Amino acid sequence: MPEQQHFDINSFRLDGKVALVTGATYGIGMAIAIALGDAGAKIAFNARHADKVKAAEQTYKDRGIEAKGYVADVTDEEQVKKLVADVANDLGVIDILVNNAGIIKRIPMLDMSAEDFRQVVDTDLNAPFIVSKAVIPGMIKKGHGKIINICSMMSELGRETVAGYAAAKGGLKMLTRNICSEFGSQNIQCNGIGSGYIATPQTAPLRERQADGSHNPFDSFILSKTPAERWGTPEDLMGSAVFLASDASNFVNGQILYVDGGILAYIGKQPEV
Ligand code: NAP
Ligand code: GCO
């Protein structure tokens, strides 16, 4: 029997690695970038608004994280190609990619224009394809790579008003599996984090109190569907991101790790009689 190896906790460290987190000027992206930075990675991040990029860069530096922000729209392939090249020049070839940037439009399907649908799919599905395609050649040359796609409850479930978002996040689950299939032999692991309902600016409209000060019905609905009986926080995703970005997950590929407080396992709280 071969001797069992001891577990090396340093397999969760990211020292010497370069991570690109898209859309990390606030919200989930910033939390994940902080986690990867705290684990030792150098952080590159982007978003569309220069003022927020500058402010976020200061936030990372104030936390002692080596970080550089870039103004780039992930839906624009030329901007993405320049982003990846600039990161390579400034910090090094990307080892870890987190496809986080995303939008949602909550519009009843029959009222949703094809343009609205296209914009959501462009950002939430086409962009992860574009950014991954730009980053993978460098990972192949380095002999390793980690791609983490930020999926959703809507990678598995639908609901009214989010047709474009659910279609995109369902596609992102399958893009995750396809990148795994196409590049696993090149030592590239591509996994997803399926976030539950997280308190960020994106979900603020779902949590805001009603005009009369009462609870938002959707807020109450989510609490009734979540065994944890709370909304998630961006910090709840930090550990999963570090795990999937590290050597600790080198034999994990094509998986969606749902960090949802139990929503997908739960039929929902029975109404009180
Ligand atoms: P958020 O608060 O709206 O933040 C989105 C981030 O992405 C911002 O930094 C935004 O900055 C950036 N961004 C948006 N469009 C971009 C583009 N075209 N190019 C570059 N950057 C862009 O969203 P969040 O709640 O943190 O969600 C982040 C990701 O998690 C999204 O993919 C979302 O679908 C997913 N997710 C969220 C939840 C949740 O409950 N919050 C749950 C599951 C999955 P700019 O607008 O300045 O560009
Ligand atoms: C919505 C919410 C959700 C969350 C998240 C859940 O309107 O239903 O925005 O879609 O953003 O994706 O996992």
Site to probe by mutation for ligand 2, drawn from 203, 208, 256 as the one with most ligand atoms within 8 Å of Cβ, is: 203
Query: Would you state the structure tokens that stand for residue 36, as one six-digit string?
Result: 């990867």
Longest dimension (CA), the chain: 69
Just list the catalytic residues. 165
Could you read off the pLDDT of 141-196 as tens digits, one per residue?
999 999 999 999 999 999 999 999 999 999 999 999 999 999 999 999 999 999 99
0.95 surpassed by pTM: yes
Which residue, 58, 43, 47, is CA-closest to 25? 47
To 10 degrees, the CA torsion angle through 71, 22, 36, 182? -130
Is residue 127 within 8 A of residue 170, CB to CB? The reply is no
Give distance in angstroms: CA of 23 to centre of ligand 2: 16
Could you read off the pLDDT of 99-109 as tens digits, one per residue?
999 999 999 99
Fold type of domain 12-196+233-261: Rossmann fold (3.40.50)
pLDDT (0 to 100) of residue 34? 98
Q: Where are the domains of the chain?
A: 12-196+233-261, 199-231
- C-alpha–C-alpha distance, residues 155 and 175, integer Å: 11
Asked if residue 189 has its Cβ within 6 Å of ligand 1, the reply is: no
Q: Which of 69-73, 110-114, 209-213 has the lowest mean pLDDT?
A: 209-213
Query: Would you state the structure tokens that stand for residue 182, as one six-digit string?
Result: 């196409």
pLDDT (0 to 100) of residue 271? 83
Region 12-18: mean pLDDT is: 98
- Quickly state the pLDDT bin for 7 (edges 50, 70, 90): very high
